[in-house]
Structure 1
Amino acid sequence: MTRPGAVAVVVPARDEEVLLPACLDSVAAAVDALRSEHPRVRARVFVVLDACRDRSAQVVAGRAGVVALTTDAGCVGVARATGVEAAAAWSASSGRAPLWVASTDADSVVPRHWLGEHVRWAADGLDLVVGTVEPRPGDLSPAALSAWHQRHTTADGHDHVHGANLGFTLAAYRSAGGFPPVPTHEDVALVAAARAAGVATLATGAVPVVTSGRRTARAPGGFAHYLGSLGA
């Protein structure tokens, strides 16, 4: 793939009024850094408010370059897919293909150089980048944090999949059949299908995303449930 003409950040959110501001602040910083490095690449953020009953919509309202979408599905697979489809329509209407999609979560904070690295990987010919996450240290007990590090590696070639740190071309997404409408592990299913389709893939720990270590789950059997299994 040549350097993308557009980058879309997709963020599903379900009752995330507390953590969403920090997420969007970090994404805005990453967008600013991307524009400084690649001024010809357009960027837009799509927040999918999925069955929200709190003030998440007010958090998003008025933020420049951020599009709010709504769904009542209560399903993260549907929410992520909704965001990608909106991003695809935006890219097509703006004439800025090809599109690169960066996926994160509303309880996560991305590093400033996150999008710049994704664009570099896309320009190098990659179609799918699978990144890593790190739980916010203060959210876990010392024992749980130690257990996390014992079970995880941030080295290239790792075998982890996190929707909070994914990047892919729209073409790769289509070839994989998109995010399935499932309440959890939609990220794992997409990556498995993309790899089966033969897309050029990189699993890297170069740009980790910091995510919440909470144990109150938004998705059944998801990341919060996993942290609970560590004794968090």
Structure 2
Amino acid sequence: MTKRIRNIVVVVPARDEQSSIGRCLDALDAAAAALRQARPADGPDVRIVVVLDRCLDDTAEIVAGRSTVESVVSSAGRVGEARGLGVERGLAAGDAEPHETWIANTDADSAVPVDWLMVQLEAAEAGHSALLGAVRPDEEGLDAEQLAHYLLRHPLRESHRNVHGANLGVRADHYLAVGGFEPLTTGEDVRLVASLEQLGLSVASTGRAAVLTSSRLLGRAPEGYSDVVRAIAG
């Protein structure tokens, strides 16, 4: 049975991402526009929340110039806490019940494809509790051989067990049932998915709508995605 989703809350933690936040928000605006065009009558409202986590650069000013985006300031310095604060803000501002709300997570150094929200919504309406999406590094900083090696080790297939905060969706009532994102410096996404599975909830995966993410070798979170890229780059 199709589940009615009335709200999608997009959460984007950001720390000193002035060089990439514009690309991120442009991509989210395009995905939201595509969803509205595809579902003009019954599509969900989309709310984008950027969490400014200890930003010292011009990220906040760039976000403030976007009429389609809300922001909230965090002093935590922990991505798990930042994500949780963004979810809290988005849920508080919405008028839908948690079981009618889908939380779509990405990162400020990433760019979602135009069909990203449609793929997220399909999973939500199919009754899944969460969707594990795929990511691929951008080509900046990686040569063709390194990128091919990455895709060999991380193929964009439908069935996978990779958990990426840059491409992760979860239904709000089930998110709340497991206590949400833990206030961790890294691994909050993996911990959330493990908690959902411990309750026997449906966690789907897909290689569709893979999110383009930074190939930088020094990331914001310890033992995060940048470690994977650094291992490939040698």
1:64 and 2:67 are equivalent in the alignment: yes
Structure-1 residue corresponding to 2:56 = 53
Which residue identity does 2:195 align to in structure 1? A
How far apart are residue 154 of structure 1 and its match? 1.6
Distance in structure 2 (CA, Å) of the matches to 1:130 and 1:113: 15
Aligned partner of residue 11 in structure 2, secondary structure = strand
How far apart are residue 150 of structure 1 and its match? 2.4
1:181 and 2:183 are equivalent in the alignment: yes
Contact 1:128 1:167 in 2 (8 A): yes
Aligned partner of residue 230 in structure 1, secondary structure = helix
Q: What per-residue deviation string (whole Å, max 9, x for no partner) do you get for residues 39-73 of structure 1? A: 34211100000000000001101312210111011
Contact 2:142 2:233 in 1 (8 A): no
Following TM superposition, where does structure 1 have runs of at least 4 consecutive aligned residues deviating by more than 6 angstroms? none
Distance in structure 2 (CA, Å) of the matches to 1:2 and 1:54: 41
CA-based RMSD of the aligned residues comes to 1.4
The alignment's TM-score, normalised by the length of structure 1, stands at 0.94
The alignment's TM-score, normalised by the length of structure 2, stands at 0.93
Name which of structure 1's ranges 191-200 and 21-30 shifts more when overlaid on structure 2: 191-200
Structure-1 residue corresponding to 2:162 = 160
Structure-1 residue corresponding to 2:15 = 14
Which residue identity does 1:182 align to in structure 2? L
Distance in structure 1 (CA, Å) of the matches to 2:144 and 2:172: 40
Distance in structure 2 (CA, Å) of the matches to 1:84 and 1:137: 31
Q: Percent identity?
A: 40
Identify unmatched segments of 5+ residues in structure 2. Answer: none
Contact 1:127 1:168 in 2 (8 A): yes
How far apart are residue 226 of structure 1 and its match? 2.1
Aligned partner of residue 140 in structure 2, secondary structure = helix
Structure-2 residue corresponding to 1:112 = 114
Name which of structure 1's ranges 132-141 and 206-215 shifts more when overlaid on structure 2: 132-141
Structure-1 residue corresponding to 2:130 = 128
Contact 2:131 2:204 in 1 (8 A): yes
Structure-2 residue corresponding to 1:26 = 27
- Aligned positions of 1:187-202 closer than 5 A: 187-202=189-204
Distance in structure 1 (CA, Å) of the matches to 2:96 and 2:92: 10
Identify unmatched segments of 5+ residues in structure 1. Answer: none
Contact 1:10 1:83 in 2 (8 A): yes
How far apart are residue 206 of structure 1 and its match? 1.3
Which residue identity does 1:134 align to in structure 2? R
How far apart are residue 95 of structure 1 and its match? 4.0
Distance in structure 1 (CA, Å) of the matches to 2:144 and 2:190: 28
Give the direction of change, closer, same or farther, for the CA distance of 1:229–1:122 in structure 2 (3 Å limit): same
Name which of structure 1's ranges 157-166 and 221-230 shifts more when overlaid on structure 2: 221-230
Contact 2:157 2:206 in 1 (8 A): yes
Structure-2 residue corresponding to 1:3 = 4
Structure-2 residue corresponding to 1:227 = 229
Distance in structure 1 (CA, Å) of the matches to 2:212 and 2:106: 10
Counting matched residue pairs gives 230
Structure-1 residue corresponding to 2:103 = 101
Q: 2:149 aligns with which of 147, 163, 171?
A: 147
